[in-house]
Amino acid sequence: MRRLNNSIEALAHSYLVQGIVNRSGGGALPNRESIMSILLGLNELLFPGFGGLEDLSHDLRLITGEQVYHVARDLMREVEKSVAFSSRKGGRFSCGKEGCRAAAELMVEDFFEELPKIRGALILDMEAAFKGDPAAKSIEEVLLSYPGFEAVMAHRLAHFFWIREVPFIPRMMSELVHSRTGIDIHPGARIGGSFFIDHGTGVVIGETTIIGNNVKLYQGVTLGALSVKKDEADLKRHPTIEDDVTIYSGATILGGGTVIGRGSVIGGNVWLTKPVPPYTMVYNNAGNQVIREQRADNTR
């Protein structure tokens, strides 16, 4: 296996020449495993026992203290790296080593102060899921086994960092839960209270989407953009969903001006690029399907 030594040289050389090696050229980037560990730690802090901790009866306060410090430490490190990147690239932050650290510290403290409020919002989401799914036998079942709830939990955490313009971390959180649930919510999306996604695989919610209260989505729903031009990145490219709307599986709703009015119902597989007034029902006319007898073909 002597040729391996040449491959080692070639790879090391390629890191120099092509230059996109992670963590070189000015500073480290956030660490995927660390962000995952932070996200799982926060789930556990929001709902102790969620991630597998046992025996919480007596010493819940000690566990909480330990977890807060532990997650704070990891988070501070990742936020600091992200803020420093922002500063290097001329983003929102502009700070030297100490200043970036101080900014990270402040942000982490703010974040933990916000956590009980996020927890309150999530409890409403949980209740919405219980009410919205006839198959749900108890509210505890939502906590333990609903991917839609897990995705919304990650979103409410990621959104905190998005609106403060921290690079990387919100997107990494979103993608981690996208990988686990098949639900892809951009951390920039603004989502109201009592939000529920059922089944969820294939759901995509774009960066500038606005969602009201008591909205319910099913699997495969896309809330996307019509335009994909890079220079329109700052515009509102994704739809607005008002309160009390339900959108069934596979529906596609595109465009920044596409407002789904309050109380509307969008049927499965519907394709929408224009606004819909309040209290409207939109559904596909299934008449365009061909039905014929067949015998021989289904050999499989």
94 lies in the site for a second copy, by CB under 8 A: no
Write down the residue that tokens 């660390």 correspond to.
34
26 lies in the site for a second copy, by CB under 8 A: no
Contact by Cβ (8 Å): 223, 238: yes
65 lies in the site for a second copy, by CB under 8 A: yes
Contact map string, positions 32 to 61, toward a second copy, x by CB under 8 A: xxx----------x-xxxxxx-x-xxxxxx
Round to whole Å and give the CA distance between 273 and 224: 10
270 lies in the site for a second copy, by CB under 8 A: yes
Write down the residue that tokens 């566990």 correspond to.
63
Phi then psi for residue 293, to 5 deg, are -65, 150
**In the set 99, 101, 121, 193, which binds a second copy (CB under 8 A)?**
101
Please enumerate in sequence order all residues whose Cβ is within 8 A of that of 278, keeping only pairs 6 or more positions apart, or say none.
242, 261, 262, 263, 264
258 lies in the site for a second copy, by CB under 8 A: no
121 lies in the site for a second copy, by CB under 8 A: no
- Least Å distance, CB 262 to a second copy, is 10
**In the set 181, 209, 240, 258, which binds a second copy (CB under 8 A)?**
181
- Least Å distance, CB 193 to a second copy, is 14
- Least Å distance, CB 235 to a second copy, is 9
Question: How many C-beta atoms surround the C-beta of residue 95 within 10 A?
Answer: 16
90 lies in the site for a second copy, by CB under 8 A: no
**In the set 8, 92, 94, 190, which binds a second copy (CB under 8 A)?**
8
134 lies in the site for a second copy, by CB under 8 A: yes
Nearer Cβ to a second copy (240/249): 249
93 lies in the site for a second copy, by CB under 8 A: no
Round to whole Å and give the CA distance between 245 and 2: 64
Q: Could you tell me the two tokens for 124?
A: 């409403």
81 lies in the site for a second copy, by CB under 8 A: no
Please work out the total of residues on this chain that contact a second copy, with binding judged by CB under 8 A. 155
99 lies in the site for a second copy, by CB under 8 A: no
182 lies in the site for a second copy, by CB under 8 A: yes
**In the set 38, 107, 126, 260, which binds a second copy (CB under 8 A)?**
126
272 lies in the site for a second copy, by CB under 8 A: yes
Contacts (CB under 8 A) with a second copy, residues 208-227 = 214, 216, 219-220, 222, 224-225, 227
Nearer Cβ to a second copy (85/240): 85
Q: Which helix (H) or strand (E) holds 272?
A: strand 271-272
- CB-based burial, 23-54: b 16+ in 10 Å, e otherwise: eeeeeeebbeebbbebbebbbbbbbeebeeee
| The amino acid at 168 | F
116 lies in the site for a second copy, by CB under 8 A: yes
Nearer Cβ to a second copy (43/240): 43
Please enumerate in sequence order all residues whose Cβ is within 8 A of that of 242, keeping only pairs 6 or more positions apart, or say none.
212, 259, 260, 261, 262, 263, 264, 278
159 lies in the site for a second copy, by CB under 8 A: no
| The amino acid at 133 | D
Q: Could you tell me the two tokens for 238?
A: 């994704």
| The amino acid at 273 | T
